[in-house]
């Protein structure tokens, strides 16, 4: 069984990116599970908080999920042409303590949805220096940027567009196959 930790970088209830992650989990091929993690309870990084209390429980849980996963799927919004602060904050927290060891050599894929016409191309590109610093292994065999998301998702943030679901299924299958090959 191949396990992928999926993280959405949005906190919005009807988020396109959380919906994209849910759809990815639904469309995962047989033998692959996408486990949706949550960044909602991760506080803003504060070294004083870390020194006083250690790693927050939400961070510890994400670290454990990452440690146990075969790969990581980042589902990133794009805010002002870049990485969302709340998402970067969660990854920064996850790298604390022995967390950096869980990122090292872990395969990672990045996808995203945006209401704009360019998908999340700039946000996805902005993740590359972070992934390099974490010494991860980005999967570059596929790319998925969902543009004009407002026309592809329903009011609850569920991906309803058949063509996009098909592209997503192909992307997830490709990433899962790469993980199984090692």
CATH number for the domain harbouring residue 75: 3.40.50.360
pLDDT tens digits along 76-127: 999 999 999 999 999 999 999 999 999 999 999 999 999 999 999 999 999 9
Separation of alpha carbons 167 and 182, rounded Å: 23
The pTM of the whole model exceeds 0.85: yes
Question: What does the pLDDT read at residue 182?
Answer: 81
- Confidence bin at 65 (pLDDT 50/70/90): very high
Burial class of residue 68 in the structure, from the number of CB atoms within 10 Å of its CB (0-12 exposed, 13-18 middle, 19+ buried): exposed
> Can you give the residue range of the structural domain that contains 11?
2-181
What gap in Å lies between CA 27 and CA 110, rounded to an integer?
A: 16
Q: What tokens does 168 get?
A: 């997503």
With a pLDDT cut of 70, the percent of the chain lying above it is 100
Can you read off the two tokens belonging to residue 50? 């870390």
Distance CA 167, CA 146 (A): 10
42: closest CA among 2, 9, 83, 79? 9
pLDDT of residue 132: 98
- CA atoms of 6 and 8, how far apart (whole Å): 7
Asked if residue 29 has pLDDT above 90, the reply is yes
| pLDDT tens, residue by residue, 119-150 | 999 999 999 999 999 999 999 998 999 999 99
Domains identified in the chain, total number: 1
């Amino acid at each position: 069984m191949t396990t992928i930790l999926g993280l959405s970088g949005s906190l919005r209830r009807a988020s396109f990116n959380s919906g994209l992650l849910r759809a990815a989990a639904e469309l995962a091929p047989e033998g692959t599970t996408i486990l949706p993690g949550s960044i909602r309870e991760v506080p803003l990084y504060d070294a004083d908080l870390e020194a006083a209390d250690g790693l927050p429980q939400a961070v510890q849980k994400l670290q454990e999920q990452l440690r146990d996963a075969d790969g990581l799927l980042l589902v990133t919004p794009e805010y002002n042409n870049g990485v969302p602060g709340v998402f970067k904050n969660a990854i920064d927290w996850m790298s604390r303590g022995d967390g950096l060891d869980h990122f090292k050599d872990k395969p990672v894929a990045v996808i995203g949805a945006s209401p704009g016409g360019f998908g999340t191309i700039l946000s996805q590109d902005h993740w590359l220096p972070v992934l390099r610093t974490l010494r991860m292994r980005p999967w570059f065999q596929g790319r998925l940027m969902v543009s004009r998301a407002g026309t592809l998702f329903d009011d609850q943030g569920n991906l309803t567009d058949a063509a996009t679901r098909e592209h997503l299924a192909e992307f997830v299958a490709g990433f899962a196959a790469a993980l199984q090959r090692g």
